[in-house]
A and B are shown apart, each in its own frame.
Chain A
Amino acid sequence: MIVEIGAFALVLSLVLSVLQTVASALARIRRAPVLAAVGEAAAISAFAALAVSFAALVYAFVVSDFSVANVTANSHSAKPMLYKVGGAWGSHEGSMLLWCLALTGFGALLAGYGRGLSAGLKSVAVATQGALGIAFLAYTVFASNPFWRLTDPPVEGRSLNPLLQDPALILHPPFLYVGYVGLSVVFSLAIAALVEGRADAAWARWVRPWTLAAWSALTIGITLGAFWAYYELGWGGWWFWDPVENASFMPWLIATALLHSAVVTERRGALPGWTIFLALGGFTFSMLGAFLVRSGVLTSVHAFAVDPTRGVLLLTILGVTAGLGFALFAWRAPAMARGGLFAPISRESALVLNNILLAAATATVLLGTLYPLIREAIAGEAISVGPPYFNLTFTPLMFILLLLLPAGPLLAWKRADAGAALQRLWVAALLAAVAAVATLALVEPRSLFGAAGLALGVWLIIGSLTEVAERIRLFRVPGAEALRRLGGLPRGAWGMTLAHAGLGVFVLGAVFETTWKAETAEVLALGQRLEVAGYVLVLEDVAPVQGPNYEAEQATLRALAPDGTLACMAQPERRQYSAGGQTTSEVAICTRGLSHLYVVLGERRQAADGGPVWLVTGYWNPWALLIFLGPGLMALGGAISLSDRRLRLVAGRRAAPVAPAPAAAPGPVGGQA
């Protein structure tokens, strides 16, 4: 019965989305506030209906209702509760429902909190959001319905893939989807701006918080995914330039660019066309990601058949939505004002440069992902584009971008003095140089790339802090006064500093880990040892372990630090899942300061004397913690910037600052969440 309620609520949500679109569009045409109110109410109700629907699906997973096809395919009665719940969005159908939940949720937020928007702008945005809802809800209802029943229900389900039975991967999709779909609001606002023929500072002020929220969620989602890959796949890597990763990375890059270009539009009224273009691009890349991952085009050379009909449908949604959006752009954007002028050396120029480099980086990722398809379609030749390509194209682009980054926030709007900005960065430059020299002198084996990368990380962190020091006039006013200023800094400023410094932290970790990671694999019998980066691992015991839905072989290794003391007892496992029969590896990670000693238990073999031996691999991943800590700081920065806005909404009467605010700082805000 509850499952039927879920199915009904799903259809109801679709109907309400139609109402939302029609009423809001008519409200704009007839300038009728009553219709606008109907549209908004429909938007909120559509979300409520979908929330009921989603809850029904989660319920079906929780009680293991195997009469529902989707539950049978993705759940198992012996699975831990967390993974039963998570299984609700572990499949195609369930994840599409989650996508729709986020889509209608953002529509409801737009309808509920959009009071500060002009009536016309808001109606068009709500209508567009409704239209997106119609497309994806119709897809879910007709082509990917998670509520389909089985006529002949089995007694047991086929279980969720064991690799996905992991806390990080249960949280990963919700964050990712909030990020992907958060960009739909920005898309709708861009359509509204094009229809209204106006993309002024007030509009840009509306784009920022939504982009910020989507960007923060995407950052967390991508980081969780990378973290999962790091500890679950068992080979120490965390980013593989895999098409699936790229699909989530492209919207992030675009959202990052949008975050910066919206500042220019908001503060200086410049670049409205470009900001709209990026706003359209963000959600387009989200949809492209959904298409690439679900259609199976990127895996078509292999035997993993993903439903091609669904792929075609998603491609149609993508084509129609993005096509209409960009056609509208081509029609309306040229008539828009070009905005304020600025000198070559100015904050505007720095932000445009940021956008150019991010656009080029996105183009790199897009090309690297799609080029094999394109070349196969045109010439019929199969090629591969792997990590070496991205290392040669994406990395240099990012290097230039990050090199220029600390100077940006120090430049004034309109016309700035580059010399003065660079002069303020002398401490950062000095420390970066010290870091480079120290790295070359101290870290073996010597690596120029490593030294340059670490210098870049230090440059970013100290450069970002320099901007704060400048704002509070550190060392130029008495200490107490500087402290008072520090307390008075707007949260948006903190947000930007954290995000930029977090990027530096990430660079430090990523460079150190990739350059100086060490790996040793040995076939060990009980009592034997292997050595990696000065650490000694002694295999003490291998014992069977019974999990809730798996059987495992668990090794116990004594890890001795280079100074001979006990570092930790590592207990990696090799699990065999009873449903499905897959084997997974559960690595053991000993955290040593910022670094990880990472131990993997491999297959059991037979030694020459007939006794059992195990393949054990030890990795030393120096500073690996920073790789995940950095993006965490970035997302935190985004959240803090967002909270700044809410503070203002509550406080209401605070004056709009004219101070040279930084890139991620919020502007004067009317009334929104």
Chain B
Amino acid sequence: MSGLARWLVVACAVLCLGAASDPTERLADPGQEARARALFKEVRCLVCQNESIDASNAELAQDLRAIVRQEVAQGRTDVEVRRFLTDRYGEYVLLKPRFSWANAALWLIPFLVVLAGGGMLASRWRTPPPEPELTGAESEALARLRQDET
């Protein structure tokens, strides 16, 4: 199963060895470069399968990296850079979906599952265990039995 699909997924990854770290693309300021690299990981390579522009060597990814680096070099904040990208390419370009109403289900359901599970567990607890506790002598006997066994 993984065969074909894996290859589809990696089809453009293959060409992208050392993509984002390519020295010819780097910014001179290491601080800015680090920020740009962090941003790359959040931006989708639109023509690739499911990859960030950090990993892809597709031409579009190169262009997007150049745009992001340029924006960073001009002193834009991360938020501004993201807005710049979504204005042009839509929300699809962000690998981290926004916290918006349209994505409420995406962000909240895991939390709700925990809550619902916890609620169900708590409702079970409310019914007290009817079985009587063991007396001291009984638990001693049980401990002896266990010891014999191991």
Contacts and interface: CB of A to CB of B under 8 A. Distances in A.
Contact of B92 (A302, A353, A356, A384): A384
A485 B113 CA distance: 41
A304 B129 CA distance: 58
Interface in B106-128: 106-107, 109-111, 113-114, 117-118, 121-122, 124-125, 127-128
B110 A658 contact: no
Given A91-B3, A293-B1, A397-B110, A233 B13 contact: yes
A397 B3 CA distance: 30
Contacts of A384: 44, 50, 91-95, 97
A385 B107 contact: no
Given A368-B106, A602-B18, A386 B52 contact: yes
Contacts of A375: 102-103
A322 B9 CA distance: 28
Interface in B46-97: 47, 49-52, 55, 90-97
B31 interface: no
B141 interface: no
A521 B23 contact: yes
B97 A521 contact: no
B110 A393 contact: yes
A414 B8 CA distance: 50
B124 to A, nearest CB: 8
A92 B4 contact: yes
Contacts of B16: 235
A386 B1 contact: no
A82 interface: no
B42 A585 contact: no
Contacts of B6: 163-164, 169, 225, 229, 244
A488 B42 CA distance: 52
A176 B1 contact: yes
Contacts of B50: 240, 242-243, 384, 386
Contacts of A240: 9, 50-51
Given A349-B121, A615-B17, A91 B4 contact: yes
Nearest to A355: B117
A584 interface: yes
Interface in B1-48: 1-11, 13-19, 21-24, 41-42, 44, 47
A385 B13 contact: no
A415 B7 contact: no
B144 to A, nearest CB: 12
Contact of B3 (A173, A289, A471, A603): A173
B105 A659 contact: no
B130 interface: yes
Given A234-B17, A356-B113, A582-B14, A304 B8 contact: yes
Given A163-B10, A382-B91, A384-B95, A360 B1 contact: no
Contacts of B130: 341
Interface in A367-392: 367-368, 371, 375, 379, 381-389, 392
Contacts of B23: 521-523
Interface string A286-309: 000110011000010010101000
Contacts of A89: 3
Given A242-B50, A488-B150, A161 B7 contact: yes
A415 B21 CA distance: 56
A244 B16 CA distance: 20
B149 to A, nearest CB: 6
B145 interface: yes
A638 to B, nearest CB: 21
A356 B121 CA distance: 9
B106 A371 contact: yes
A414 B5 contact: no
Contacts of B21: 519-521, 617
B2 A172 contact: yes
How many residues of B sit at the interface, in one of the four size bands?
35 or more
Given A488-B150, A585-B14, A353 B103 contact: no
A280 to B, nearest CB: 17
A3 B25 CA distance: 54
Residue of B1, B22, B107, B121 ringed by the most chain A CB atoms within 10 A: B1
B105 A371 contact: yes
A387 B1 CA distance: 22
B2 A248 contact: yes
A389 B146 contact: no
Contacts of A616: 18
B22 A521 contact: yes
Interface in A322-352: 341-344, 349, 352
Contacts of B17: 234-235, 585, 600-603, 615, 617
A392 B22 CA distance: 29
Contacts of B107: 393
Interface in A58-96: 89-92, 95
Given A91-B3, A485-B150, A235 B55 contact: yes
A343 B105 CA distance: 33
A393 B114 CA distance: 12
A515 interface: no
A415 B113 contact: no
A11 B5 CA distance: 27
B1 A242 contact: no
A520 B37 CA distance: 13
A484 to B, nearest CB: 10
A395 to B, nearest CB: 11
Interface in A590-604: 600-603
B86 to A, nearest CB: 10
Given A91-B4, A356-B114, A602-B17, A379 B102 contact: yes
B14 A176 contact: no
Query: Could you say which of A169, A242, A384, A471 has the most chain B C-beta atoms within 10 Å of its C-beta?
Result: A384
A352 B121 contact: yes
Contacts of A352: 117, 121
B149 A655 contact: yes
B96 A388 contact: yes
A237 interface: yes
Interface string A574-590: 00000000111100000
25 contacts: A89-B3, A91-B3, A163-B6, A172-B2, A173-B2, A229-B10, A233-B14, A242-B49, A243-B9, A244-B9, A247-B1, A294-B4, A299-B8, A299-B49, A342-B129, A355-B117, A360-B113, A383-B103, A384-B44, A389-B97, A415-B133, A582-B14, A583-B14, A585-B14, A657-B150
Given A235-B19, A244-B9, 19 more contacts: A91-B4, A225-B6, A242-B50, A247-B1, A289-B1, A290-B1, A293-B4, A306-B4, A356-B114, A357-B114, A371-B106, A384-B50, A386-B42, A387-B95, A389-B96, A389-B106, A415-B133, A489-B150, A519-B21
